[in-house]
Chain A
Amino acid sequence: MAEKKEQLLEMYKTMVRIRTFEKEAIDLFAAGKFPGFVHSYLGEEAIATGVCANLKDSDYICSTHRGHGHLIAKGGKLDLMMAELYGKSTGYCKGKGGSMHIADVDLGILGANGIVGAGMPIATGAAFACKYRKTDNVAIAFFGDGASDRATFHESLNLASIWKLPVVFVCENNGWAISNSQENHQNITDVSDRATAYGIPGVSIDGNDVMAISEAAEEAIKRARKGDGPTLIECKTWRHRGHFEGDPGAYKDPKDQEEWLSDAKDALVRVEKKLIELKYANKADLDKVKADAQTEVDAAVKFAEQSPDPDPSEVLTDVYTV
């Protein structure tokens, strides 16, 4: 009971930190504070949070272009992330990566990735290395419903299955491959059906229910650590924003959009309700979590804005390891 309370509160904090970071990033981008692309994770916070709650520091994740949430959930530092969004020398990648390439190899974050579906082979290889070195570490590949149409998805699930690799494939099915709806880009409702083709377990769960996600991830990760091979978990969710900031998402049915953003469906509001209902927290507690997150994000922005740009000579470094 105490453990469950602690876990749920901890996950709530992570979700709030993600949401606060993302809202701030959207505003800053709209205000022209930094260039490039921002792909917001708003609405999908429960997935990264529920999965990463079951990981050790020595486990690995491969993220996506919509990667801020995964990074935060795996322990990424908000100031270093924000500085990277600003392209500053103090950022995670010294300003060389930007939003789509933030990584912290020491934390097991093998990078956001600008190529849809590219994280799955890399996570498969990380899992291979975990097994080869006889550790019980695991790798997680996050990807979307759109990526489940790529060859990398099929090749990775197949190889991970025959080699029994400790990897969990987490599909964040937000219903949209950029502007193309799931019903238009694949002739199935459950991406998890595809697990059958590779002889591995596949489950579909509510992607806005952080407890359900955590439980499914826990089981899959246990299975992976034991050497029983990969699992495909599909988390059904909704992208609150357009594909990228600047995409108004006009292709979405406004009714769907309204429903998914309602208190009844919003992942964060649902946890708040749960915390209150179970008497794990009161409104003041929740407000404090939000205020703390805002303070942390404000500090991250200040750090980013006060950090120096990279020296122009940096363009030539880090191409090869010498």
Chain B
Amino acid sequence: MTQMSYMEAIRDGMRVEMKRDSGVYIAGEDVAQFGGCFGVTAGLYDEFGPDRVMNTPISEAVIVGHAVGAAALGLRPIAEIMFVDFMGCCMDELHNQAAKMKYMFGGKAKVPMVVRTPCGAGLGAAAQHSQCLESWFTHIAGVKTVMPGTAADAKGLMIAAIRDDNPVMYIEHKQLLGLTGDVPDGEYVVPLGKADIKREGSDVTIVAWSWMLQKSLAAAEKLAAEGINVEVLDPRTLVPLDKDAILKSVSKTGKLVIVHEEIKTSGFGGEISAIVAEEGFDYLDAPIKRVAAPDTPIPFSPILEQTFIPSEEKIIEAVKALF
């Protein structure tokens, strides 16, 4: 076990797999000597050399598209897209090519690739560099979507994502890059599709991931002081989704609050709500609540941006409204 940051944990996960499997390589904008826009790949160029850590031109379509071809031939590319907001520039390569190749070809192809990309607001980066867009990807059959919320999960999910034989969107949060935690050494794998109860409780279930997991844990502490015992469940991966863990927790607490940083309309909270309404309606003794960003682009001014981002106060308010 080593204390390290979420960013170091992502890097450690990539390093472990690059050492183990010569077919794993990294390609993206400024990922080589520069170490990536946020420094996530720092040092990997020196460690693994120019054949395995490669700068690309500012060409998102071919960054993701070339990864599809390389993966179909058996390599395991990690394609970095500098901000998840830029996925619009390469969406065809993900949703029509990577995601569908296996199915369209009658099962006779594998596309083991990872698209690594940061999401999230809070840096004053405004409308085109701050979004959370996970529901774009969960709506594509054939793609998995991974959203680590702790340093240990960042490593374990990265290793699992690289080893997975499917296209995986690995979405890290910019606000979490400096978050530290104990991270297991070596080949630490967190299986995709397995939720984690980050805080046990009996009165209400909060389902939250990525940065909102941390906010929900902080809110849960404050609520505990007021006598509300919150269970915080981190699905860790949205596809595959550990539905059973969510239903089990709701069956225990009878109340559900979903917290995400995506805008509310068509956000993944709607999907979780629908699952619980369809399959766990009898467990509920209060309406399901969603805490999400408003349906707006992300504003620049700090006061506006802070108003946009779901806050601890809003989470606390939503929980209290159920009692």
Partner-B contacts on A (CB < 8 A): 60, 62, 91-97, 101, 103-106, 110-111, 113-115, 118, 120-130, 132-133, 139, 151-152, 155-156, 158-159, 162-163, 317-321
Chain A residues with CB under 8 Å of B107's CB are 94, 317-318
Check if A105 sits within 8 Å of B108, measured CB to CB: yes
Chain B residues with CB under 8 Å of A93's CB are 104-106, 108
CB-CB nearest in chain A for B59: A155
> What interface size band does chain B fall in?
35 or more
Check if B69 sits within 8 Å of A123, measured CB to CB: yes
Check if B62 sits within 8 Å of A156, measured CB to CB: yes
A95, A111, A139: most-surrounded residue (chain B CB, <10 A): A111
Are A121 and B106 CB-contacts (below 8 A) given A60-B73, A155-B61?
Answer: no
Chain B residues with CB under 8 Å of A162's CB are 57
Please encode chain B, from 176 to 194, with 1 for each CB lying within 8 Å of some chain A CB and 0 for all others. Answer: 0000000000000000000
Check if A114 sits within 8 Å of B57, measured CB to CB: no
Check if A321 sits within 8 Å of B102, measured CB to CB: yes
What is the total of A-B residue contacts with beta carbons within 8 Å? 142
Chain B residues with CB under 8 Å of A92's CB are 105-106
Check if B106 sits within 8 Å of A318, measured CB to CB: yes
Check if A159 sits within 8 Å of B62, measured CB to CB: yes
Are A132 and B66 CB-contacts (below 8 A) given A121-B61, A319-B102?
Answer: no
- The answer for the CA separation of A319 and B61 in the assembled complex, in Å, is 23
Are A321 and B166 CB-contacts (below 8 A) given A125-B65, A155-B62?
Answer: yes
- How many Å from the CB of A204 to the closest CB on chain B? 24
CB-CB nearest in chain A for B77: A125
Q: For chain B residues 94-127, which have a beta carbon within 8 Å of chain A?
A: 96-97, 101-110, 112
Task: Check B56 for interface membership: any CB of A closer than 8 A.
Answer: yes
Check if B165 sits within 8 Å of A101, measured CB to CB: no
Check if B105 sits within 8 Å of A105, measured CB to CB: yes
Task: Check B72 for interface membership: any CB of A closer than 8 A.
Answer: yes
Closest 6 CB pairs of A and B: A121-B65, A125-B69, A125-B66, A93-B106, A94-B106, A318-B107
